[in-house]
Structure 1
Amino acid sequence: MTNQARLLILATAATGLLAEAVRLCANPTRANFQYLLGDVQYDSPVPSGNDGLSTIAVSLQSLTHTNLYNCVAMWPETWAGWYNNGSSLVWADCAFTGSGPRQDEIVSFAVDWRKQRIYVAHIFACSDKPGSKGLATGTHTLNLNCTTATDGGNHCISRGTKDGSPVFNPIITTLLQTPLNATLRCEAPKPYQSWKLQDWVRYIEQHPGASPGGGKPDGQSGPSFKLISIPGENSMNCTTSEPWKKTNGTSEGTCQSANPGIPAASFSFNSDIKILSISQHSKCTDSLRNDLTGVVFIQESCQRGVNGDRFQIACTSDPVWIGTETF
């Protein structure tokens, strides 16, 4: 192979990697982006178990088959991906693996299990509009093989080709709006209303010798977090007013903005299943309301410390995008 040919191959590969990392926002008609849907695995609760939670894990890959994001969500099996079996999808964070280019600030996903459909949303810096960020969303129908195991649980994995090799289906996402700090409006057409959650923290106290998640805690406080509206970029601080009771795994609180024109939101967090529900209601006119509800599965990372004679566990979470309606 000649040196010229080698240089051409290297240049082509570099261009491909660069193209995957580019996020163009200036021309909405061309603002489509793509991930490859890698491995998908679903596990229903084992009948002999006691948590009753279904788990779904998904990998999102680059066009060169680099595994970029690992997405995991859990919800009660009867919900099938919908909060309380209702009208709000349960969103969850997609964690960056550290491989390949970091294309997005936040990637989130949700699954409608009854329709076998996955939803993906991502927030990113616009490559052609410095200082501006965009939000893009997309959806794709899953193609799975499901079996019932000897333990009675239902297990599903991605359906491969006839020769058993994996199929990497594309998920196309489309730019919804940029910049994200567009004027918040109630009248139609309106921007997609959603939230970015960040700075999540809550504290758990347990007696010496107890492990995180092991048994009922001696005391719990929080959670506290920051909620940023999209596209308005209005920030709200969310807190609970009292520590939780030992026998009650649900905490309720409010989200307040320093801007008096921003309506407060309320939230409920179930620590047993790690599900956070947020609601915000605002009156635009006498006949028009803007009611938002978003639900998210919180993936916590907990670290142990010592507070006097007690073990204190601090649990945090990466930022996550929360959708408020199905697109």
Structure 2
Amino acid sequence: MRNKLQVDAARPCSSSDGAGFEYPLGDVRYDGPDPSKEDGLATFAASLRSSFGTPLYECVLQWPEAWAGWYEGGSRLIWGECIFTGAGSGLDNTVSSAFDWNSTTMYLAHTFTCSDAEGLEGLAIGSIELNLNCTTTDEGSSYCVPESTSSGTRPELNIATTSIPSNPGNATSPCADTSGQYWSWSVEDWFRKYKMEPGATPTDPNAIHADTGPWFTLRSWRTGNTFDCSPSAPHDGIFVGPCSSSRNETTTTTASFVFNSRLNTLLISERWTCDDGSSSSEASGILFMQAACNREFNSDDFTCTSGPVWLGTEGV
């Protein structure tokens, strides 16, 4: 299982809300759909560097071009994991990014162990508006990279993040007065199996067979609730499933998911009813789910796993 957690991954949380952090950006690139393919997918990729300039995390997002970074072109940002490269010491437990093509704004969120508060985690979110220069090739494809400086060099870009109110590990009623808190989740212990013949690619909808769909644990940063999620049958590349309380306890909060195996998008929804029955509501987030899929020895069976991945709602 891929796991980004580092034994020294910690940041101070004593200043709590409002603490600031910064990541230097390395290579940044947006690619439009490949004209030789029919999937119409656009890709955004960015590298986060350490203070020494080495690539520390690689962020990749992909969605249908018309969505422009928003789920079905709506009001929910599509978040994706930034994978730890191992080329240094990470200070974060998870790192995720999102990209709004309409405003060319990159969002970054990272969670970290509090070095000064045992058992607690912090959350910081930030954004940067990118000035992109786009080119169309003779083959009809297009790509965009940050515009060069007046001297023709790559600009120095840094994305700053700020700690925001969060409530990891401590369940709080969604009906409480916590308007300053941010809705987000952690997808953990991801597991999926399928069969694929040699030479085929997982982007081919006809290449994958006997797909179990995803099984995972969902942890709500807002309420502290944890859920066990698994798909319901039948499916046609779209897996829908309920999430039951991991503690087998009665709760007014429920969760569910929809996983599109063709686009690798995971829609998470958490719903709640106030204890007095006065109102009910829902929060949801979208994740472009990357997972390490390994072929079993001398077999057509693939097993996909992943460490914790954070996803949120809108940018902050």
Give the TM-score range, shorter chain.
Answer: 0.7 to 0.9
Q: State the secondary structure of the residue aligned to 1:45.
A: coil
Q: Give the unaligned 5+ runs of structure 1.
A: 1-19
Aligned residue in 2 for 1:153:
141
Deviation at 1:130, TM superposition (A): 2.6
1:181 aligns to what?
169
1:89 and 2:77 are equivalent in the alignment: yes
1:265 Cα deviation after fit:
1.3
RMSD: 2.2
1:316 aligns with 2:305: yes
Aligned with residue 269 of structure 2, among 272, 275, 279: 279
Q: Contact between 1:38 and 1:167, CA under 8 Å: does it hold in 2? A: no
> Cα offset for 1:22?
6.0
Alignment partner of 1:67 out of 34, 37, 55 = 55
State the secondary structure of the residue aligned to 1:84: helix
Match of 1:201 among 187, 191, 196: 191
Q: Does 1:115 align with 2:115?
A: no
- State the AA in 2 paired with 1:25: C
- Could you state the TM-score of these two structures normalised by the residue count of structure 1? 0.85
Structure having the larger proportion of residues in helix: 1
SS state of the match for residue 214, structure 2?
strand
Query: What's the CA shift for 1:286?
Result: 4.6
SS across alignment from 2:211? strand
Pairwise CA distance, 1:311: 2.4
Percent identity (aligned): 41
Stretch of structure 1 that moved more, 163-172 or 209-218? 209-218
1:21–1:101: 8 Å Cα contact kept in structure 2? yes
Number of the residue aligned with 2:5: none
Corresponding residue for residue 239 of structure 1: 230
Unaligned 5+ segments in structure 2 are 1-7
* TM-fit CA distance, 1:306: 6.5
- Over 3 Å counting, the alpha-carbon distance change for 1:154 and 1:254 in structure 2 is same
Q: Is the 8 A contact 2:10 2:113 kept in 1?
A: no
Aligned to 2:249: 259
Distance 1:106-1:306 versus aligned 2 partners, 3 A rule: same
Aligned residue in 2 for 1:129: 117
Counting matched residue pairs gives: 302
What corresponds to 2:208 in structure 1? 217
Code of the residue aligned with 1:323 in structure 2: it is G
The answer to whether the 8 A contact 1:298-1:317 is kept is no
Q: Secondary structure of the equivalent of 1:264?
A: strand
Q: How many angstroms apart in 1 are the aligned matches of 2:98 and 2:18?
A: 25
- What letter matches 1:226 in structure 2? T
Q: Is the alpha carbon distance of 1:29 and 1:180 closer, same or farther for their aligned partners in structure 2, counting shifts above 3 Å? A: closer
Q: CA deviation at 1:241?
A: 2.6
Alignment check: 8 A CA contact 1:212 1:302 kept: no
Q: Which amino acid aligns with 2:265?
A: I
SS in structure 2 of the partner of residue 220 of structure 1: coil
Task: Name the structure 2 match of 1:16.
Answer: none
1:231 shift after superposition? 3.5
Partner of 1:106: 94
TM-score, structure 2 normalization? 0.88
**Conserved in 2, the CA contact under 8 Å of 1:219 and 1:243?**
no
Partner of 1:300: 291
Distance, in Å, in 2 between the alignment partners of 1:223 and 1:300 is 11
